[in-house]
Structure 1
Amino acid sequence: MDDGAVPGSSGYVLGDADPELARLDALSEVYAPVTAVWLDSLQLAPGASVVDLGCGVGSVTQVLADRVGPAGRVTGVDAAARPLEVARRRAAAAGSVHVRFEQADVTTWEPEAPVDAVVGRLILVHLPDPVGLVRRAVELVRPGGVVAFQDVVLTTRAAQPALPLLTASNGWILTTFGVLGRPVDMGLRLGAVFSAAGLPDPVLTSGAPLERGPDALGWSIVGGDVTSLLPAFERTGVATAADVGPETFERRLREQAAAADAVLVNPLVVGAAARVG
């Protein structure tokens, strides 16, 4: 789940503590190729102005900055302060002077002027009104600009052969999202969301990265998901800390992967991009 935290209006159920930030870094690395294909579909020109909603630690923001070049302008927007601190430090270290970050509610933030593109990765899954945010994005871009979102299909995470801990964690996560009223298949809903927001049929891209063995980065993402969601597990009665064993969960999961020489299917992500008339 994403880069960004969008508390308040969003009901974001993952945290922004240090383990969560590490999870976001692992997620960005695993999904970098899939994200690149999605961003290719935007056909951004050098010098373009782009907004990254729910930017988190700024991984996508930096990729966008590299694509539009120093003549462009990229703004990352997120409600959580801690990820933004990381994002600002990394942008400064990269010399990305054409990037800025703002702490704000993504559902109400406004740019100074219409932009060429608005994007958001793994953010709609956390919003009670995803169509509303996409409509809002349409209002922020100039005529002919692009609106693009990428989101996850949580039901597709799996291992071959099956691992008991992954099966258990999938159950905890899917049940918790269900209790909280959050869709577990937002990636597959993007076409319908774009249509409801008044956009034409989007260009769709997708990918489910595969990794093998105990050193897969995806195990860190699973461990981070479980650790970050533990308060929600307990609040909803889905699982307790004793059930999860958060301190040793990732180590035990990697041990099971090693014993089985397991292949991890990271969750499918789907990207959508459409041009505003």
Structure 2
Amino acid sequence: MHMPDPVAILEKMHRWTKPGGVIAVQEFDFGAMTVEPICPAMTEFFRLFEGVFRGHGRNLRAGRQLPAQFEAAGLGIPDGTRAEVKFLPMSGMAAMLIGVYQGLFASAVELGIADDARAEAFKREIAEATADGRYYCVTPILIGAWRRLA
């Protein structure tokens, strides 16, 4: 998701890997990330997160594209894939969500999609949701793919 041309990176990995070696990559897929029940803090989080990623031309569902990228790089289809997701209480996710929000905030301001009032409301609402105890988060899916070179 952070590479402007992931296929080119896989092509380099292919050139650098000796026969018998393994090319292995991992990437997130944020498309399934959610919170139940829906809470205002996460509506704001997703709005800012998706706005910054799209505003910079980044792919929120990059993990799903790994097999196609392997093929486009001349590696063929992966020998294997694995996906990992967790379902955690908000108390186990809140610090990470706040950190991500704060890390993207300056970029969001530059894109015109954030301001201090929204940021303060987000922090207050995430604290309330954490204290409530009934909110659970489906984490982003971490997807891995690998291929052993002949």
- The TM-score, its normalising length taken from structure 2, stands at 0.91
The DSSP-based 3-state class of the residue aligned with 2:60 is coil
| Selected match of 2:46 from 170, 175, 179 | 170
1:100-139 mapped onto 2 (5 Å cutoff)? 125-139=1-15
Which structure 2 residue ranges, 5 or more long, are not aligned?
none
Name 1:150's counterpart in structure 2: 26
CA deviations 1:131-175 (Å, max 9, x no partner) are: 111111111111111111111111222111011111111111112
Written as runs of structure 1 = structure 2, the 5 A alignment for 1:1-277 is 125-202=1-78, 203-212=80-89, 214-216=90-92, 218-245=93-120, 249=123, 252-259=125-132, 261-277=134-150
* Pairwise CA distance, 1:245: 2.2
User: Which of structures 1 and 2 has the larger relative contact order (alpha carbons within 8 angstroms, sep 6+)?
Assistant: 2
* Structure 1 moving runs of 4+ over 2 Å: none
Cα RMSD over matched residues? 1.7
Unaligned runs of 5+ in 1: 1-124
Deviations 1:82-141 (A, max 9, x none): xxxxxxxxxxxxxxxxxxxxxxxxxxxxxxxxxxxxxxxxxxx10111111111111111
> Contact 1:161–1:260 (CA<8 Å) still a contact in 2?
no
Give the SS at the match of 1:231: helix
Provide the C-alpha distance between the structure 2 equivalents of 1:131 and 1:221, rounded to a whole number of angstroms. Answer: 29
Asked if 2 retains the 8 angstrom alpha-carbon contact of 1:207 and 1:268, the reply is yes
For residues 220-272 of structure 1, what are the alpha-carbon distances to aligned partners after superposition, in whole Å with 9 as ceiling and x for unaligned?
221111010011101111212321129x72x6414213325111111111111
The amino acid of 2:14's aligned partner reads V
